[in-house]
Amino acid sequence: MANMSRRLLTVAAVLTGVLAWSASARAQSNGTEGGRFHFDVGLTGITGANKLDTDLRHEAEDNGYSYSSFVWPVGLEVDPYYTFNFGLGLGGSVGPLMLGETSGDISSDFVIVPVGLDARYEFLNNSGVVPYVRAGFRYPITAGDSISNGQIGPFVGAGVIFTKIHLELEAAYDGSKVTTDLGDFGDTKVVEPYQFMFTVAYHF
Protein backbone atom coordinates (compact mmCIF):
# COMPACT_ATOMS: atom_id res chain seq x y z
CA MET A 1 0.00 0.00 0.00
CA ALA A 2 2.84 2.35 0.84
CA ASN A 3 4.49 1.59 -2.50
CA MET A 4 1.29 2.43 -4.37
CA SER A 5 0.94 5.70 -2.44
CA ARG A 6 4.48 6.70 -3.38
CA ARG A 7 3.83 5.99 -7.04
CA LEU A 8 0.56 7.92 -7.01
CA LEU A 9 2.39 10.86 -5.45
CA THR A 10 4.97 10.58 -8.24
CA VAL A 11 2.20 10.72 -10.85
CA ALA A 12 0.66 13.76 -9.12
CA ALA A 13 4.05 15.49 -8.99
CA VAL A 14 4.65 14.88 -12.71
CA LEU A 15 1.22 16.26 -13.63
CA THR A 16 1.72 19.31 -11.41
CA GLY A 17 5.15 19.95 -12.91
CA VAL A 18 3.85 19.69 -16.47
CA LEU A 19 0.98 22.09 -15.80
CA ALA A 20 3.25 24.61 -14.06
CA TRP A 21 5.86 24.46 -16.83
CA SER A 22 3.15 24.75 -19.48
CA ALA A 23 1.65 27.87 -17.95
CA SER A 24 5.07 29.49 -17.59
CA ALA A 25 6.25 28.62 -21.09
CA ARG A 26 3.01 29.74 -22.70
CA ALA A 27 3.19 33.09 -20.92
CA GLN A 28 6.79 33.60 -22.07
CA SER A 29 6.06 32.59 -25.68
CA ASN A 30 3.15 35.00 -26.16
CA GLY A 31 4.30 37.81 -28.39
CA THR A 32 7.76 36.37 -29.10
CA GLU A 33 8.97 35.78 -32.63
CA GLY A 34 10.37 32.46 -33.81
CA GLY A 35 7.79 30.06 -32.45
CA ARG A 36 4.72 29.31 -30.38
CA PHE A 37 3.93 27.28 -27.29
CA HIS A 38 0.91 24.97 -27.35
CA PHE A 39 -0.87 22.87 -24.76
CA ASP A 40 -3.26 20.09 -25.79
CA VAL A 41 -5.72 18.43 -23.40
CA GLY A 42 -7.83 15.54 -24.61
CA LEU A 43 -9.43 12.14 -24.19
CA THR A 44 -7.72 9.10 -25.68
CA GLY A 45 -9.25 5.76 -26.57
CA ILE A 46 -6.87 2.89 -25.75
CA THR A 47 -7.06 -0.35 -27.76
CA GLY A 48 -4.55 -2.12 -25.49
CA ALA A 49 -6.85 -1.77 -22.46
CA ASN A 50 -8.96 -4.76 -23.48
CA LYS A 51 -5.88 -6.95 -24.03
CA LEU A 52 -4.46 -6.02 -20.63
CA ASP A 53 -7.80 -6.84 -19.00
CA THR A 54 -7.95 -10.21 -20.79
CA ASP A 55 -4.35 -11.13 -19.89
CA LEU A 56 -4.93 -10.43 -16.19
CA ARG A 57 -8.14 -12.45 -16.13
CA HIS A 58 -6.59 -15.43 -17.94
CA GLU A 59 -3.60 -15.43 -15.58
CA ALA A 60 -5.87 -15.75 -12.57
CA GLU A 61 -8.30 -18.25 -14.12
CA ASP A 62 -5.48 -20.49 -15.38
CA ASN A 63 -4.41 -20.86 -11.75
CA GLY A 64 -7.91 -21.60 -10.46
CA TYR A 65 -8.90 -18.19 -9.08
CA SER A 66 -11.93 -16.05 -9.83
CA TYR A 67 -11.09 -12.65 -11.22
CA SER A 68 -13.33 -9.87 -12.44
CA SER A 69 -11.91 -6.63 -13.75
CA PHE A 70 -12.63 -3.53 -15.77
CA VAL A 71 -9.90 -1.45 -17.41
CA TRP A 72 -11.09 1.99 -18.47
CA PRO A 73 -10.61 2.20 -22.27
CA VAL A 74 -10.50 6.04 -22.31
CA GLY A 75 -7.99 8.20 -20.46
CA LEU A 76 -6.91 11.83 -20.04
CA GLU A 77 -3.82 13.02 -21.93
CA VAL A 78 -1.94 16.35 -21.87
CA ASP A 79 0.70 17.32 -24.46
CA PRO A 80 2.68 20.56 -24.01
CA TYR A 81 5.04 21.44 -26.85
CA TYR A 82 6.82 24.29 -28.62
CA THR A 83 6.81 24.78 -32.40
CA PHE A 84 9.23 26.86 -34.44
CA ASN A 85 8.02 28.88 -37.42
CA PHE A 86 9.43 26.34 -39.90
CA GLY A 87 7.20 23.58 -38.49
CA LEU A 88 9.48 21.60 -36.16
CA GLY A 89 8.09 21.04 -32.66
CA LEU A 90 9.54 19.63 -29.44
CA GLY A 91 7.56 18.65 -26.40
CA GLY A 92 6.37 16.08 -23.92
CA SER A 93 3.28 14.14 -22.94
CA VAL A 94 1.58 12.80 -19.84
CA GLY A 95 -1.12 10.16 -20.24
CA PRO A 96 -3.47 8.78 -21.23
CA LEU A 97 -4.24 7.82 -17.64
CA MET A 98 -5.33 4.17 -17.43
CA LEU A 99 -7.38 2.92 -14.46
CA GLY A 100 -8.08 -0.73 -13.65
CA GLU A 101 -10.66 -1.98 -11.14
CA THR A 102 -10.60 -5.62 -10.01
CA SER A 103 -12.58 -7.92 -7.73
CA GLY A 104 -13.10 -11.62 -6.97
CA ASP A 105 -10.46 -13.77 -5.27
CA ILE A 106 -8.00 -11.07 -6.29
CA SER A 107 -8.66 -7.43 -5.53
CA SER A 108 -5.91 -5.17 -6.83
CA ASP A 109 -6.78 -1.87 -8.50
CA PHE A 110 -4.05 -0.20 -10.53
CA VAL A 111 -3.07 3.02 -12.30
CA ILE A 112 -0.77 3.50 -15.31
CA VAL A 113 0.42 6.91 -16.52
CA PRO A 114 2.91 7.10 -19.42
CA VAL A 115 5.24 10.09 -19.63
CA GLY A 116 7.26 10.85 -22.73
CA LEU A 117 9.22 13.17 -25.00
CA ASP A 118 8.78 13.55 -28.75
CA ALA A 119 9.54 15.66 -31.81
CA ARG A 120 6.94 16.62 -34.40
CA TYR A 121 6.69 18.29 -37.74
CA GLU A 122 3.66 20.39 -38.68
CA PHE A 123 2.80 20.84 -42.35
CA LEU A 124 1.11 24.11 -43.38
CA ASN A 125 1.53 25.29 -39.82
CA ASN A 126 0.25 28.82 -40.59
CA SER A 127 -3.04 27.62 -42.07
CA GLY A 128 -6.41 26.80 -40.54
CA VAL A 129 -5.87 23.05 -41.01
CA VAL A 130 -2.48 21.74 -39.84
CA PRO A 131 -1.55 18.07 -40.45
CA TYR A 132 1.42 16.75 -38.47
CA VAL A 133 3.49 13.70 -37.57
CA ARG A 134 5.43 13.07 -34.38
CA ALA A 135 7.72 10.41 -32.91
CA GLY A 136 9.51 9.79 -29.63
CA PHE A 137 9.34 7.47 -26.65
CA ARG A 138 7.23 6.88 -23.54
CA TYR A 139 7.75 5.36 -20.12
CA PRO A 140 4.75 4.07 -18.10
CA ILE A 141 4.63 4.98 -14.40
CA THR A 142 2.69 2.26 -12.57
CA ALA A 143 0.87 2.05 -9.23
CA GLY A 144 -0.90 -1.02 -7.87
CA ASP A 145 0.05 -4.56 -6.90
CA SER A 146 -0.91 -6.27 -10.18
CA ILE A 147 1.07 -4.00 -12.54
CA SER A 148 4.80 -3.24 -12.24
CA ASN A 149 8.11 -2.77 -14.06
CA GLY A 150 7.32 -0.16 -16.67
CA GLN A 151 9.55 -0.41 -19.76
CA ILE A 152 10.33 2.45 -22.14
CA GLY A 153 8.98 2.05 -25.67
CA PRO A 154 8.66 3.88 -29.00
CA PHE A 155 5.85 6.29 -29.77
CA VAL A 156 4.64 7.46 -33.20
CA GLY A 157 1.58 9.49 -34.12
CA ALA A 158 -0.09 11.48 -36.89
CA GLY A 159 -2.93 13.93 -36.68
CA VAL A 160 -4.55 17.14 -37.81
CA ILE A 161 -5.24 20.42 -35.99
CA PHE A 162 -8.19 22.64 -36.85
CA THR A 163 -6.81 25.88 -35.48
CA LYS A 164 -9.93 28.04 -35.87
CA ILE A 165 -12.01 25.78 -33.60
CA HIS A 166 -9.04 24.59 -31.45
CA LEU A 167 -9.73 20.92 -32.25
CA GLU A 168 -7.05 18.24 -32.64
CA LEU A 169 -7.51 14.64 -33.85
CA GLU A 170 -4.71 12.07 -33.62
CA ALA A 171 -4.02 8.38 -34.21
CA ALA A 172 -0.91 6.98 -32.50
CA TYR A 173 0.94 3.87 -31.37
CA ASP A 174 2.62 3.46 -27.96
CA GLY A 175 5.01 0.51 -27.64
CA SER A 176 5.84 0.95 -23.94
CA LYS A 177 5.36 -2.12 -21.74
CA VAL A 178 4.43 -3.18 -18.21
CA THR A 179 4.59 -6.48 -16.33
CA THR A 180 1.38 -8.06 -15.05
CA ASP A 181 2.06 -9.67 -11.67
CA LEU A 182 -0.68 -11.34 -9.62
CA GLY A 183 1.82 -12.79 -7.14
CA ASP A 184 0.82 -16.27 -5.98
CA PHE A 185 -2.40 -16.03 -8.00
CA GLY A 186 -0.80 -16.17 -11.46
CA ASP A 187 2.26 -15.90 -13.66
CA THR A 188 4.01 -12.72 -14.78
CA LYS A 189 3.72 -11.49 -18.35
CA VAL A 190 5.12 -8.48 -20.22
CA VAL A 191 2.39 -6.68 -22.18
CA GLU A 192 1.82 -3.44 -24.07
CA PRO A 193 -1.05 -1.71 -22.23
CA TYR A 194 -1.64 1.03 -24.80
CA GLN A 195 -0.83 -0.04 -28.37
CA PHE A 196 -3.05 1.89 -30.83
CA MET A 197 -4.69 5.07 -29.52
CA PHE A 198 -7.12 7.67 -30.87
CA THR A 199 -7.30 11.15 -29.34
CA VAL A 200 -9.73 14.06 -29.48
CA ALA A 201 -8.14 17.13 -27.84
CA TYR A 202 -8.62 20.83 -27.25
CA HIS A 203 -5.69 22.71 -28.83
CA PHE A 204 -4.54 25.80 -26.93
CATH number at residue 144: 2.40.160.20
Q: What is the pLDDT of residue 19?
A: 46
pTM confidence score: 0.77
Judge residue 129's burial from the number of C-beta atoms within 10 Å of its C-beta, 0-12 exposed, 13-18 middle, 19 or more buried: exposed
> For 164-177, what is the mean pLDDT?
96
Please tell me which residue, 82 or 1, carries the higher pLDDT value.
82
Residue 43 pLDDT > 90: yes
Poorest-pLDDT segment among 4-18, 48-62, 71-85: 4-18
Q: What is the pLDDT of residues 21-32, one digit of tens each?
A: 544 444 444 444
| Residue 34: domain span | 2-203
pLDDT tens string 90-129 = 999 999 998 887 776 666 778 899 999 999 999 987 789 9
Domains: count for the chain: 1
pLDDT band at 57 (very low <50, low <70, confident <90, very high): confident
SS3 for 182-204, per residue? CHHHCCCEEECCCEEEEEEEEEC
